[in-house]
Amino acid sequence: MKRILAILFLGLLIAQSQAQVNLNHYMTVGQTRIQIGNYTGAIEYFNIVIKFKPYLPEAYFYRGVAKHQLEDYRGAIQDYNKALEIKPFYPRAYTNRGMAYHNLKEYDEAISDYNKALEFDPDNESIYNNRGIAKLAQKNMEGAIEDYNKALEINPKSTYALMNRSNAKIVQSDINGAIRDLNQVIIIRPHYAAAYLNRGLARFEQDDFASALRDYDQSIRLDPKNALAFNNRGIVKHKLEDYVGAIMDYDMAIQLNPEMASAYFNRAMAREILGRPGYTSDYKIASQLDPKFDLESRRLDAEQLAQNQQNQQNQNQGQNSPNAQSQQSGNSQNNSSATSAKNNTTQQNNSSGAPPANNNPQKNNASSNANTQNKQEDEKENNERNRRRRMNLIIEDSRNLPDDEEEEVDDGRIQNKNIVIDLQPIFIISAFDKNDVDYDRFQYYNMAIEDLNEKNNYNPLLTISNKPVAEYMDVFENFILYFNARLEIQKNAHNYLNRGIFNSLTGNYNDALADIDQSIKMDDKNGVAYFTQANCRFKMLQEIEMNSGSESEFSIPITQRFSTDDGQQSHANIDYKEIMDDYEVTLFLNPKFFFGYYNRAYIKLRLKEYKSAIEDLNRAIELEPEFAEAYFNRGLTKIYLDDVEGGALDLSRAGELGLIGAYNIIKRYCN
């Protein structure tokens, strides 16, 4: 026996040595995967490196880069933090962490990191560019231009710095200066579509519509898949009252980007002007995609403001104040100024290029005795004027994110895919044939399952999984027959439990519960039997809910009641109590069985016991620090409880451990 142990120990040492020798290979493959856009695959490789060499800062840095590209900015910041903890003199880590903070709109932290990076790398033009963009986001135009100037001192041909400086100049209303910068960009890069796009914007600001149109034409020739260019060109045509041509451009913009709210809004206006059908639907879609295009909300806001002003005016008149008239005049002037300021703010912040909808309260200051028809005409004229207001600055994001232009692959930018958001399901005991090689279904090792496998002589090979089992029904049916024969020979708790497991897997829940009940009567100290009984009861209850049509589409806010087949309302929590009791016994008999905590948390979430569920998930993660599904469900629950920061970090960990759908949720709900 000692000899066998010695051989196994020697083999383990050899395996570890080989793994260490191959770590450079894993680093290289991980970096290559980043370059080709396979970010989730890259994370897998960096995880391996970190497991064997947790003191290597580059592994954390590049894993952070991969998460950054998946738009998991908080997770990326954690990895950059770790890299900087190991290697404090790491300017690239400071730079990338600054970009991650920028994406989270934490501009002070971003600038602080850029400052630190510049201490170590003072001649890096990209860092000045990045800091300039952060200052621009803070409306610090002078500081931004100063940084762009510094970048251009280092590299006079930096098109990024020229583009960014032109953006700042447009915000400062230095249109001629912006055009000079853009001309220089085009001289350096004649085929740079974004330069023509921005110059078209600048020329539009000068009401030079013909030149703007030529620039947009050229931008589209160079980049025919840029929805923004089509939308902006449509606005120019709209301005020139070529509504048919504008609609064609808006159509193309929507085709390229079906979620571009401004294109729907602009098309709706053009269709309404021409009397074409479909404009009502376009307005509705635009408001659903972006609330700022909700005309009904704007109308209600304007009406409320007008009512408030009228009430105030009537109140002043009722007091017979000697200076009521002057106060009313002052209010009118203040409202006019507020409107102007509001319009200016809208012009700076609206990056969609859509002409802003009317929200001018000044016209509502007319007295109640004013002519209604004149009022409507004034409103119509004002609406038309606002609809044709100039486009707004679209700041190009040229912060030099690593590999930002790489082609997307199937398992790369999962955050852009449209996935169904739901909790990870419960874990159940499943099985393999001894010759099965579907290793993907193996997930976690557990001694309780291993004990069952030893008694089965590893045929069938039991495992624990939360993956679908429908395709293995034939295998499970064969195992039911196998344990029928075993029970004819020996009726014991172990054989009943096994047959109960397979009856449950095939959906024969009544037979399964009968077998498990018999097993527990023979051996009431087997925690796996109670675990299986709880799972079987839950699956049975879930099927009843599904058939009655009462199961919620979303798992977290699920209802506590369901309708049975006879139409009567039945209290689901009565059945859930039996399930909870089974998990309680499971965990009493095996306090380290982390699947029990996970499954019990899942049931608590259905019962809206969110805080208690988080406590169970905490315990599951404490027992199994790499329990991806527990991180995932805890992350969703925290987001539901408005702990976005904590939820994002949990989902980041789940994604890091292989549940790549987490990155989609991070992008949609956490950034």
Q: pLDDT digits over 282-308, tens only? A: 999 999 998 888 876 665 555 565 566
pLDDT at residue 398 tops 80? no
User: Does any domain span residue 468?
Assistant: yes
Specify the DSSP class assigned to residue 554: S
User: Does any domain span residue 133?
Assistant: no
All residues at 6 or more sequence positions from 402 whose CB lies less than 8 Å from its CB, including other chains: 34, 65, 68, 69, 96
User: Does any domain span residue 162?
Assistant: no
- Look at residues 122, 152, 169 and tell me which one is the last residue of a structural domain: 122
Give the pLDDT score at 301: 57
For 490-526, where are the alpha helices, taking DSSP H only? 493-505, 509-522
All residues at 6 or more sequence positions from 667 whose CB lies less than 8 Å from its CB, including other chains: 70, 71, 415, 416
d(CA 375, CA 382): 10
| CB distance 433 to 460 below 8 Å | yes
- Residue 219 neighbours by CB distance under 10 Å: 25
pLDDT tens per residue across span 165-198 = 999 998 888 999 999 999 999 999 999 999 999 9
d(CA 657, CA 272): 51
| CB distance 504 to 395 below 8 Å | no
Residue 398 identity: S
d(CA 201, CA 228): 11
Give the pLDDT score at 452: 87
pLDDT tens per residue across span 130-139 = 999 999 999 9
Q: For residue 87, report the phi and psi dihedrals to the nearest 5 degrees.
A: -135, 90
pLDDT at residue 273 tops 90? yes
Q: How confident is the model at residue 333 (pLDDT cuts 50, 70, 90)?
A: very low
User: Does any domain span residue 73?
Assistant: yes
Residue 471: give the domain boundaries.
428-624
d(CA 215, CA 197): 6
Query: Could you tell me how far CA 665 lies from the centroid of its own chain?
Result: 4
- Mapped onto helix, strand or coil, the DSSP state of residue 217 is helix
Query: Could you tell me how far CA 431 lies from the centroid of its own chain?
Result: 35
d(CA 606, CA 535): 14
Give the pLDDT score at 157: 94
Of 624, 625, 627, 636, the C-alpha closest to 662 is 636
* 1-15, 256-270, 283-297, 341-355: range with lowest mean pLDDT: 341-355
Q: How confident is the model at residue 418 (pLDDT cuts 50, 70, 90)?
A: low
- Residue 398 neighbours by CB distance under 10 Å: 19
- Residue 439 neighbours by CB distance under 10 Å: 7
Give the pLDDT score at 347: 34
- Look at residues 74, 99, 122 and tell me which one is the last residue of a structural domain: 122
Place of tokens 């009791």: 581
d(CA 358, CA 387): 7
Q: How confident is the model at residue 501 (pLDDT cuts 50, 70, 90)?
A: very high
For the chain, percent of residues with pLDDT exceeding 90:
59
Query: Could you tell me how far CA 519 lies from the centroid of its own chain?
Result: 46
User: Does any domain span residue 501?
Assistant: yes
What mean pLDDT is reported for the chain? Answer: 80
pLDDT tens per residue across span 550-578 = 554 444 443 333 333 444 434 445 578 99
All residues at 6 or more sequence positions from 222 whose CB lies less than 8 Å from its CB, including other chains: 191, 192, 193, 196
- Look at residues 62, 91, 122 and tell me which one is the last residue of a structural domain: 122
For the chain, percent of residues with pLDDT exceeding 70:
72
pLDDT tens per residue across span 71-126 = 999 999 999 999 999 999 999 999 999 999 999 999 999 999 999 999 999 999 99
Structural tokens at position 363? 């016209």
d(CA 157, CA 147): 15
| CB distance 519 to 526 below 8 Å | yes
- Mapped onto helix, strand or coil, the DSSP state of residue 461 is strand
Give the pLDDT score at 34: 93
- Whole-structure pTM over 0.85, yes or no? no
CATH number at residue 559: 1.25.40.10
d(CA 123, CA 102): 21
- Mapped onto helix, strand or coil, the DSSP state of residue 57 is helix
312-321, 324-333, 471-480: range with highest mean pLDDT? 471-480
d(CA 629, CA 62): 24
Give the pLDDT score at 416: 53
Of 151, 155, 176, the C-alpha closest to 166 is 176
User: Does any domain span residue 528?
Assistant: yes
User: Does any domain span residue 575?
Assistant: yes
User: Does any domain span residue 15?
Assistant: no
Q: How many structural domains comprise the chain?
A: 2
* 141-155, 329-343, 430-444: range with lowest mean pLDDT: 329-343
